[in-house]
Amino acid sequence: MERLVIVSNRVPTLRSQDPAGGLSVALKSALEESGGLWFGWSGKVTEAPGSDWRVNQHDGFSLATLDLCRAELRGYYEEFSNRTLWPVFHGRLDICRPERKAFDTYRSVNRRFAEVLTPLLKDDDTIWVQDYHLIPLGKHLRHRGVEGPLGFFLHIPFPPPQTFAALPCYRELLADLCFYDLVGFQTEACAENFRHAVAEFLDAEPGADGSLRMGDHVTQVDAFPVSLDTAAFAEMAQSEEVEETADQLRDFMGDRQWICGVERLDYTKGLAERLRAFATALDRTPALRGHISLIQVAAPSRESVPEYREMRSQLEGLSGSINGRFGSFDWTPIHYLNRTFSQKQLAALYRVSRVGLVTPLRDGMNLVAKEYIAAQDPEDPGVLILSRFAGSAQELTEALLVNPFDISSTAEAIQDALEMPLAERRRRWRQMKLHLDTHDVHAWRNAFLDALAEASADSSAVGETRAA
């Protein structure tokens, strides 16, 4: 296997005690096989920019990191990546804050990534760039003479062309993506949005196979739905340690049923709408009061970004209001937890919850939905309620699919899930679990890398033909 080089905004610590870390597990195993390199930001912040980098060995492969200065962190990460790209890619133009200075910093950090990474590369390396923080990286690597296979995967949604055009730099970013041999998306709909944007805004020639040709270079475009390490997560969920935690939760639950939501605190996750839907279910069906509770985990995220601080305040007020309206001395309707839990703790929560409520307003994939299915007891599985605007809805079609903007219909789905007969719960769960068994994160990784090898060969052949 040729050496694989992974580039991401942050390099993971890879010290987690949880064996089912999903994406990092799949990429780590590929790096171990190839003796590869994982490159990215160290997570450390300095006062002034510099080109110093560090390399550490980890189980047969290397971790290479560099620091960012405060101005770079603010412009590249906080302002452009998280206050400009993130809202636009999720369709939230109302809170997008595009600033040319932030874009300039974003591009300069990508240029510095390329400057530091290029000397670490070998001629036959396969380079796989991860996510929206690093869109221009491929262009800067090519300009520095890097000729090997170069792929990019977008973990978040790609919006329709007119939404993407809200970015002042939209043409530049589209052109940047066309420097890669392969650009991968979570769903075919996102891949089509990208193709249409390039066709509309750039002078690109579409291919019958869905590829795009810019001059002498061909970029393949395809969907690769990311997944989790299904077998490892299911094994962990059935472990003695997780079962002990699950038993403790059952003791606390008593004869009540739990509905669980697990998210990173983000305005794309539909958390306020979810709480309102739960309250609507309680309002419509008084018999549910005292017998069900919503356990909502909202892990802290991007706390330096004002929109996230405002959302945390909103959710705390909303959950308190609902508890004050419906709660009693011995029953709390909503347990709102603004903290991080381990994978094992979450697996126990999934396992004891009758309903998994996963209702983002827009999501590239959403692995929580897949984790919930993988964690279930085959003899008594819970019911997944899933937003049709999550990428995972394209695969988990046996879930109860809802429109999260429609509070009333989501409340009805909660009632339907709680009343669903065991035979139907088992049937739906078996279909989804079978899909996840055969479409796990290792299959995702292999599909992308195989497609990248083929795309690189095709692009080279096109260039040689035109040169001749």
pLDDT in tens, 48-101: 877 778 888 888 899 999 999 999 999 999 999 999 999 999 999 999 988 899
CATH code: domain of residue 333: 3.40.50.2000
Name the band, by pLDDT with cuts 50, 70 and 90, for residue 463.
Answer: low
pLDDT of residue 326: 98
Residues 361, 390: one domain?
yes
pLDDT in tens, 342-391: 999 999 999 999 999 999 999 999 999 999 999 999 999 999 999 999 99
* 276 in the same domain as 304: yes
What does DSSP assign to residue 187?
A: S
Tell me, yes or no, if 363 is annotated catalytic: yes
Residue 386 sits at φ, ψ, to 5 deg, of -130, 135
Span 446-465, average pLDDT: 81
Give the pLDDT of residue 331.
97
Whether 56 maps to a domain, the answer reads yes
- Bridge partners, 408 (sequence order): none
* Active-site hit among 155, 196, 335, 439: 155
The tokens for 342 are 């381990």
- pLDDT the model gives residue 467: 47
Annotation marks residue 140 as catalytic: no
Answer whether residue 377 is part of any domain: yes
Domain check: are 203 and 313 in the same one? Answer: no
Mean pLDDT of 432-450: 96
Q: Please tell me whether residues 279 and 404 are part of one structural domain.
A: yes
Q: Are residues 263 and 197 in the same domain?
A: no
Catalytic entry in 363, 435, 440, 442: 363
With respect to residue 99, please indicate whether it lies within any of the assigned structural domains: yes
Q: Please give the tally of structural domains in the chain.
A: 2
Sheet with 400-402: list strands edge to edge: 334-337, 292-299, 257-264, 355-358, 383-387, 400-402
In a domain, 64, yes or no: yes
The strand pair at 217-223 and 182-185 is best described as parallel
> Which pLDDT score is estimated for 127?
98
Confidence tier at 25 by pLDDT (50, 70, 90): confident
What is the pLDDT averaged over residues 225-239? 95
Q: Kindly state whether residues 190 and 277 are assigned to the same domain.
A: no
| 69 touches 49 (CB < 8 A) | yes
Query: Same structural domain for residues 154 and 248?
Result: no
Q: Which two tokens stand for residue 287?
A: 């018999």
Q: Are residues 215 and 288 in the same domain?
A: no
* pLDDT tens-digit map of 275-285: 999 999 999 99
pTM of the predicted model as reported, rounded to 2 decimal places: 0.94
User: Which residues are registered as beta bridge partners of 299?
Assistant: 264
Task: Find the domain containing 77 and state its range.
Answer: 4-227+442-457
**Helices vs strands, H then E, count in the chain:** 17, 16
CA–CA separation, 146 and 168 (whole Å): 28
Same domain flag for 105 and 251: no
The answer to the question of residue 337 being in a domain is yes
279 and 331 within one domain: yes
- For residue 390, the cross-strand partners are 363
| HEC secondary structure over 393-416 | HHCCCCCEEECCCCHHHHHHHHHH
Instruction: Give the residue with greater pLDDT, 24 vs 466.
Output: 24
Higher pLDDT, 212 or 302: 212
Name the DSSP class of 328. Answer: B
Render the burial of 51-67: b for 16+ CB within 10 Å, e for the rest: eebeeeebeebbbbbbb
Residue 148 buriedness (CB in 10 A; 0-12 / 13-18 / 19+)? middle
- Structure token digits, residue 29: 């195993």
- Do 377 and 356 share a structural domain? yes
Mean pLDDT (the chain, rounded): 93
Give the least confident one: 5-9, 18-22, 242-246. Answer: 18-22
Question: What pLDDT is attached to residue 203?
Answer: 84
pLDDT band at 11 (very low <50, low <70, confident <90, very high): confident
Q: Tell me the mean pLDDT in the region 419-445.
A: 97
Residue 270 lies in a domain: yes
Q: Give the confidence band of 468 by pLDDT, cuts at 50, 70, 90.
A: very low
Is 182 within a domain? yes
Is 463 inside a domain boundary? no
Least Cα distance to 159 among 173, 148, 147 occurs for: 173
* 83 and 172 assigned to the same domain: yes
